[in-house]
Structure 1
Amino acid sequence: MAATQVLQSEWTKIRSVTSTIWTLSLAFVVSLALGALISIVTRSTFDTMPARDQLSFDATYTSFAGMGLGQLAMIVFGVLVVSSEYSTGMIRTSLAAVPQRGTFLFGKIAVASALAFLIGFVTSFGAFFLGQALLGEHRASIGDPGVLRAVFGGGLYMGLIGMFSMGVAAMLRSPMLSLGILMPFFFIISNILGSVDATRKVGQYLPDQAGGHIMQVVTPPDDTTPYGPWGGLAIMAAWVAAALVGGYAVIRQRDA
């Protein structure tokens, strides 16, 4: 099967599965809703914040407060789009139609990643403009130094989270196992490693913590990371590449 036919086939699969569309929609809605709520609360409590926090206030990053939860839906999307065929047994039919396993896997990932990045950029720009409107006099402008980079980087971050999840799902081939590892990893383990002094130097190289720096405009006073915003995103991209290579290695070596 030609590469263009594989892409068309994968697009048909994705848009015909209701759960994948719902997870992308949820990523957008949750990110904007929670970001808006945090922006409203921040505006109403700004004057009572300690002077140190006011001086280091990052209006752009505040509007992204919901993207931490929105990435949960993006993780689910990445896992489902790759591993659902294994759970239903349709993977045998798919590989019979496309015996070139590399073409099959990366065709699927290419289509799903395009959707993930599209939703990521819409979410990031939407969260920024809504959040800034609600922050009132404390808002930032898209033309301020570092802001456009942060907003554009937010879209890249969400897309890369989806791609990383796809790579992990390709390696594990089970939606339950993939989610059972990714959810604790991002929402428990990463936070613990990043907040404990003894493990902070390790935690800052995890994909979410490294990549998250791209969304910051103001560097927190206690930030000791040895890389900048684009360096952090490069570290995250390396994690994504490793996950995709691992997924490719597994699909080449193992039967459906």
Structure 2
Amino acid sequence: MTATQVIRSEWTKIRSVASTVWTLSLAVVVTIALGMLISALSRNEFDGMDRGTRVSFDPTFISFAGMSLGQLAMIVFGVLVVSNEYSTGMIRTSLAAVPQRGTFLFSKIAVAAGLALVVGTATSFAAFFLGQAMLGEHRASIGDQGVLRAVIGGGLYMTLIAVFSMGVAAMLRSPMLSLGILMPFFFLISTVLGNVEATEKVGRYLPDQAGSRVMQVVTPVGDDTPYGPWGGLAIMAVWTVAALAGGYLLLRRRDA
């Protein structure tokens, strides 16, 4: 099969599996709804904030508050795209049809990443505009310095989360094992390392903490992070490339 045929095949697989469609839909709904809720609460609490909190107030980043749960759905999407064929046994048929394993894996990832980018970017823009509507007079404008970068970065962040998860799933093959590692990594280990003084300098180089930097417009008071928004996204991209490389190498070396 040619690369074009493989890509078409992978597109058919993804759109025909209900679970992948539902997880992307959930990512959209949760990210936007939670962002609107937190934005509305922030507007009501703004007058009661102290001066330091107001100085660090970042209306753009607040509208992305739902990303914390939206990325959960993106992780599930990334894992299911790769590991569904292993759990059903269809991987043997797929590799028999496409013996070039690199072509097989990266066609699958290219299709899923493209879909995640479209959904993630649309979600990021929607979360921003609806979140700002909830903030009222405290809102930011898309034309303000750094705001457009943050909104575009939000879509890239969601895409990289999904692709990183695909790489991990390609290494582990099992959906349960992949989710059992990724969920605690992002929602427990990363949070603990980033909030404990002894480990916070390590935590800031983890993919989610580094990548989320691109969505920030206002730098918090006392923040001494040694990289900027695009630098943080680059760190996240390095993690993603490493996960994909690991998945590719293991796919080449072992049986289906």
**TM-score normalised according to structure 1 size:** 0.99
Pair 1:172 & 2:172 matched? yes
Which residue of the partner structure matches residue 89 of structure 2?
Answer: 89
Provide the rounded CA distance (Å) in 2 between the counterparts of 1:180 and 1:48. Answer: 40
Q: Give the superposition deviation at 1:49.
A: 1.1
- State how far apart, in whole Å, the 1-side matches of 2:222 and 2:92 are: 52
**Residue 125 in structure 1 maps to residue 136 in structure 2:** no
CA deviation profile, 1:70-128 (whole Å, cap 9, x unmatched): 00000000000000100000000000000000000000000000011111101100000
- Tell me what 1:242 maps to: 242
Deviations 1:151-183 (A, max 9, x none): 000000000000000000000000000000000
Aligned partners of 1:55 and 1:106: how far apart in 2? 45
| 2:50 equivalent in structure 1 | 50
Q: Which runs of 5+ in 2 are unaligned?
A: none
Q: SS at the partner of 2:199?
A: helix
Query: Which amino acid is the alignment partner of residue 103 of structure 1?
Result: T
* Alpha-carbon distance, 1:51 to partner: 1.4
The CA deviation string for residues 170-224 of structure 1, in whole angstroms up to 9 with x for no partner, is: 0000000000000000000000000001111110000000000000000011322
2:65 is matched with which residue?
65
Q: 1:143 aligns to what SS in structure 2? A: coil
Q: Does 1:215 align with 2:215?
A: yes
Question: Which whole-Å CA distance do the structure 2 matches of 1:220 and 1:70 have between them?
Answer: 23
Question: Is 1:21 matched up with 2:21?
Answer: yes
Contact 2:52 2:221 in 1 (8 A): no
Q: Which residue of 1 aligns with 2:151?
A: 151
| Separation of aligned partners in 2, 1:151 and 1:131 | 12
Partner secondary structure for residue 197 of structure 1 = coil
Q: 3-state SS of the aligned residue for 1:198? A: coil
Matches of 1:103 and 1:169, distance apart in 2:
17
1-side partners of 2:49 and 2:190: how far apart? Answer: 27
Question: 3-state DSSP class of the match of 2:225?
Answer: coil
Q: Deviations over 1:22-81 (max 9, x none)?
A: 000000000000000001111111101111111110000000000111000000000000
The match for 2:229 is 229
CA RMSD of aligned residues (A): 0.5
Structure 1 equivalent of residue 253 of structure 2: 253
- What are the equivalent positions in structure 2 for 1:192-211 lying under 5 Å apart? 192-211=192-211
Runs of 4+ in 1 over 3 A off after TM superposition: none
Quote how far apart the aligned CAs of 1:255 are: 0.3
Percent identity of equivalent pairs: 76
What corresponds to 1:2 in structure 2? 2
Q: For the residues of structure 2 that align with 1:79 and 1:238, how far apart are their CA atoms?
A: 19
Letter in 1 for 2:24: L
Give the aligned residue type for 2:185. Answer: F
What runs of 5+ residues in structure 1 fail to find an aligned partner?
none
2:117 & 2:224 partners in 1: Cα distance?
A: 29
Q: Contact 2:165–2:182 (CA<8 Å) still a contact in 1?
A: yes
